[in-house]
Amino acid sequence: MTTFEVRHPVAAAIAAGVALVTLLAGIPAVLLTFFWPIELPRVEDLVTPAEPQVLKPLLLLVVWGFWALFAWAVLLELVAMARGRTRQAGHAPFQRFAAYLVAMLTITTASPVATASIANAATVSTADVSFTGGEEAAAESVETAPQPSGTYVVKPRDTLWSIAERHLGDPSRYQEIARLNAGRVMTDGHTFAEGDWLRPGWVLRMPPDAIELDAGGKPSGTIHTVADGETLWDIADRYLGDGKRYREIIKFNKGRVQHDGRRLTDPRTIVPGWRLAIPDKSAGKPVFLEPAMMPPMRFAAADASELTEIAAVAQQADCPSSATSSPALVKLPGNGLVALSFAGGIVIALASARLYYRRRLKAPEVDERVSVHAEQPLPPAVQALVRAHTEGSTPHGESPPDDFSLVKGAFSVTPPGNVRISEHVELELSGLSLGLTGTGAAGCARAMILDLLTKADQHRAEIIIPRDDCVELFGEPIESLLDQLPGLRLVPSVSDAIDRLEEQFVTRRRLLRDYDAEDIPALRTAEPDEPLPALLLVARLPEGDHSYLSTLMELAPRFGIGALVLGEWPPGSTCHLDGNGKAERTVGEQSERLDGASLIRVSKTDATSLLRHLAAGNGLADNRPQRNADLPLPRYVSDGRPVRFGILGEPSIEANGENVDISGRTKALELFVLLALRPTGLERQEICAYLWPDVDEPLAGYRFHSALKDIRAALREATGMSDKEATFIELEGKTYRIEAKQVTVDLWIFERAMTAAREAPDEEAKVAALEAVAGQCRGILANGLKYWWIDQEFRWPMTVASVRALLQLGRLHENAGRTERALDVYEQAGTLDPDIEQAATAAIRLLLQLGRRDEARLRARHFKSRLAALGAAPSAETIAIINKALPRSVRAAK
């Protein structure tokens, strides 16, 4: 902040006068000229507060109100100035601003004297000086500066005006402070000069009658000298009790020159030997060096770099040599907390389940009524994981990976080495020896087990747990899922679990001896083909002597084995968790890392649904009835509309034949896509639940109206239609929907053709309707857009329905002898979803029938390679057709 700029008093007075005239006279002149009279909204308009007829009068009312408050503040300030300022500024809205402007108008008479005094004060000594003769007479003509009685330490956002107002009772006395400090060298080596900037940490001399100063004007507190290897997180945790308060240290040291001429600007860069002022722990007040403690030096130019996120500093505290940010955690509904990597495991399981279902999809009979079918909605916990993975895994501007890429990219034979249990703590599985107690122990154990199960395929991890303990954690349904949960081994009792552990110790000791390896990690590196999963024992130990298990766990780090005990575990570490998963007390070697941390946790209800989805990803059949997802169409569905919205394939918007680019309005496009998939409309709260699930009201409502305004403005500009001619998204009651009289959506044309095919009276009419369907099948629904809600509920159900309709059309053409057209349709189905076996084999079969063996052989090789990349076994029918297409030598080589 500036001291209070009076270097050019005449210019300052003119600027203040212009500002006052503009604000007091200009604003009402503009309002009365262009916006009078005000058209008040009708009662029915109030249901749409984002519409212009409501917003315009509301905004005008706000402007008039602010103007009246400012005019009142100016009046109060003028009266106070006329009375010699018997009151302090700042009690009424805008009064502080008004005080500055009024003071500017009156400062022209005071500034020349103040400026001269400041200029001369630099040469005046505070020691006694004797004058003789004319010198004494000349000295009498010079204004004597007030003698100081105390000092004041400058705080952030301070000005001389505010300091004088707070400690002298009159802000216009700021000149006395300026005269007392003119020419003094401040703590950072900068010389105080009128009109310059005040810097936090400067120690200013104050007049004798100053009030509420620190005792003796001397700051009290702590100065920390940075040691080698320290981070701001460490320092904040040590002095302020919480590493997340590191920003307070940055704030109160901003601009302070260190001994090497540099300043603290980057929270990740602090140099050993720097002296940092530490804020007061309780009140958050700054602590600054006394002048004698700071060597004078010249002020260097600041490097104004923005602060990095808190996660980067926290990660640096855990691992100073690492520059990467800590992995994110995902909050689940109902107080759950898991690692983002676990969210990735659930998303891959969902993709694998969809792939399995689509691969085995059967072609419909020619007389079957083909509809869109979708699974039941995902549970809230699974939705939260899908949303977190979708938003956090795909780089900005890139399309999300499809199911094939997700499943193929997840293949790994490397056993997991660690498990993340909090934002900043990863525990190594090899040698883990941890007991959990308290009301949050079961939730944490569930989360750790689930996290490992997402990485347990390909013999990468094995969890040994007694049956009763497993049922206690996950419930009875767990036993029906065991065949589809690789890595989870249930044993009858704790003693059986220890026996299994002992067997693994013996086996691994022999392997280490045979391969002459130091430990299991070294053996995995030397022999990557040797199946050596990470082993974790999870059990509630009965009362008694557990010295044998304790002895085994002393050897565990070498053998790649860990133990998680549900209860006290004196041989290792024991962590007591409260109901919110916070580590209240930890005993043992992990105490420093775990105490006070919020650990991962999953409720039993969420764990049951998550286990079912993991099992479905490994082939568990979902026998739950599917729901019909055919879109209920609006009454007006036609191609002849001013706006055409295409979402089958890459989204596109055309207005009067011209493309409309709304790529910069991401939420506006997402809103348009959502309403296209819900032709009958949605209420605002339902829309916000899709688009802004983590944002509360009223902010979610503001964002909705902003997106609504953006899409309407873009379409009105493109069509040249006014707001009275078209709204494009209309409101009826509380429901928002796309205005079907103005907008055509290709998905609606597709649904209308599907309905016509289902209701066709004969085969010829069905073929015509299905050809209309084929004409709309230009790609995956909303291809390239990554919305967390679109895959399971809309994209893949619509894709499956499209492929089934094309397979039915191909069969109708094939039965009628139109083989070439049937082949084209089968190829279109295979392009739309290359993982559906029926589409691929139908095309191969027809190519063989037409004598095009080379093409058939090429397609067979490609499809077989695609199945092999997924590790998927084709059906017997698929194997038979592929064998017909491939030569015997190729089949033998394969």
568 and 444 both lie in a single domain: yes
- pLDDT class of 789 with cuts at 50, 70, 90: confident
473 and 563 both lie in a single domain: yes
In a domain, 831, yes or no: no
- Rounded to 5 degrees, φ, ψ at 437 are -130, 170
- The mean pLDDT value of the chain amounts to 78
Task: Pick left, alpha or beta for residue 94 (phi over 0 → left; psi -120 to 50 → alpha; otherwise beta).
Answer: left
Range in 378-382, 475-479, 536-540, 567-571 with the lowest mean pLDDT? 475-479
In a domain, 770, yes or no: no
Task: Tell me which of 217, 234, 265 is where a domain ends.
Answer: 217
Listed in sequence order, the residues at least 6 apart from 189 whose beta carbon sits closer than 8 Å to its beta carbon are 257, 294, 295, 296, 297, 298, 299
639 and 724 both lie in a single domain: yes
- pLDDT class of 52 with cuts at 50, 70, 90: low
Q: What's the structural domain count of the chain?
A: 5
Judge if pTM exceeds 0.85: no
**Higher per-residue confidence, 81 vs 429:** 429
**Higher per-residue confidence, 414 vs 141:** 414
Using alpha carbons only, give the angle 181, 185, 190 rounded to the nearest 5 degrees.
110
pLDDT at residue 363, as a whole number: 86
- pLDDT class of 546 with cuts at 50, 70, 90: confident
467 and 536 both lie in a single domain: yes
In a domain, 685, yes or no: yes
- pLDDT class of 805 with cuts at 50, 70, 90: very high
- pLDDT of 235 > 80? The answer is yes
- pLDDT of 195 > 80? The answer is no
The answer to whether the beta carbons of residues 291 and 202 sit under 8 Å apart is no
**Higher per-residue confidence, 124 vs 382:** 382
Task: Tell me which of 703, 724, 753 is where a domain ends.
Answer: 753
In a domain, 150, yes or no: yes
pLDDT at residue 573, as a whole number: 92
CA separation for the pair 291, 203 (Å, rounded): 7
pLDDT tens figures, 622-648: 776 677 878 887 776 666 688 999 999
425 and 546 both lie in a single domain: yes
- pLDDT class of 132 with cuts at 50, 70, 90: very low
- pLDDT of 33 > 70? The answer is yes
Determine the average pLDDT of the residues in 826-836: 91
Please report, for the domain that includes residue 238, its CATH number: 3.10.350
481 and 549 both lie in a single domain: yes
In a domain, 856, yes or no: no
98 and 156 both lie in a single domain: no
**Higher per-residue confidence, 130 vs 834:** 834
Determine the average pLDDT of the residues in 543-567: 89
Q: Residue type for 299, please?
A: F
Helix, strand or coil for residue 535?
Answer: strand
pLDDT at residue 437, as a whole number: 94
Range in 14-18, 431-435, 477-481 with the lowest mean pLDDT? 14-18
257-264, Cβ contacts within 8 angstroms, sequence gap of 24 or more: 257/188, 257/189, 257/297, 257/299, 257/300, 259/295, 261/297, 261/300, 262/300, 263/300, 263/302, 263/303
The domain of 83 spans: 9-106
Closest CA to 334 of 131, 120, 581, 500: 581
The answer to whether the beta carbons of residues 385 and 600 sit under 8 Å apart is no
102 and 156 both lie in a single domain: no
Determine the average pLDDT of the residues in 533-541: 93
- pLDDT of 274 > 90? The answer is no
In a domain, 176, yes or no: yes
Using alpha carbons only, give the angle 770, 774, 775 rounded to the nearest 5 degrees.
115
Please report, for the domain that includes residue 639, its CATH number: 1.10.10.10
In a domain, 846, yes or no: no
439 and 568 both lie in a single domain: yes
Task: Tell me which of 297, 314, 336 is where a domain ends.
Answer: 297
156 and 17 both lie in a single domain: no
pLDDT at residue 313, as a whole number: 40
- pLDDT class of 325 with cuts at 50, 70, 90: very low
pLDDT tens figures, 724-775: 888 899 998 999 999 988 899 999 999 999 999 999 999 999 999 999 999 9
Determine the average pLDDT of the residues in 641-669: 87
Determine the average pLDDT of the residues in 175-190: 80
In a domain, 22, yes or no: yes
**Higher per-residue confidence, 824 vs 131:** 824
Listed in sequence order, the residues at least 6 apart from 303 whose beta carbon sits closer than 8 Å to its beta carbon are 263, 265
pLDDT at residue 395, as a whole number: 63
pLDDT at residue 394, as a whole number: 66
For residue 105, give both structure tokens: 């108008």
Share of residues in the chain with pLDDT > 90 (%): 25
Query: Helix 763-776 and helix 746-758: axis angle, to 10°?
Result: 160
The alpha carbon of residue 170 and the mean position of all alpha carbons in its chain are separated, in whole angstroms, by: 48
- pLDDT class of 176 with cuts at 50, 70, 90: confident
643 and 695 both lie in a single domain: yes
- pLDDT of 568 > 90? The answer is yes
**Higher per-residue confidence, 19 vs 837:** 837
pLDDT tens figures, 407-462: 888 877 788 888 889 888 889 998 999 999 999 999 999 999 999 999 887 788 99
**Higher per-residue confidence, 204 vs 214:** 204
For residue 631, give both structure tokens: 């879109």
473 and 579 both lie in a single domain: yes
Range in 132-141, 267-276, 439-448, 568-577 with the lowest mean pLDDT? 132-141
Element (H, E) at 884: helix 876-885
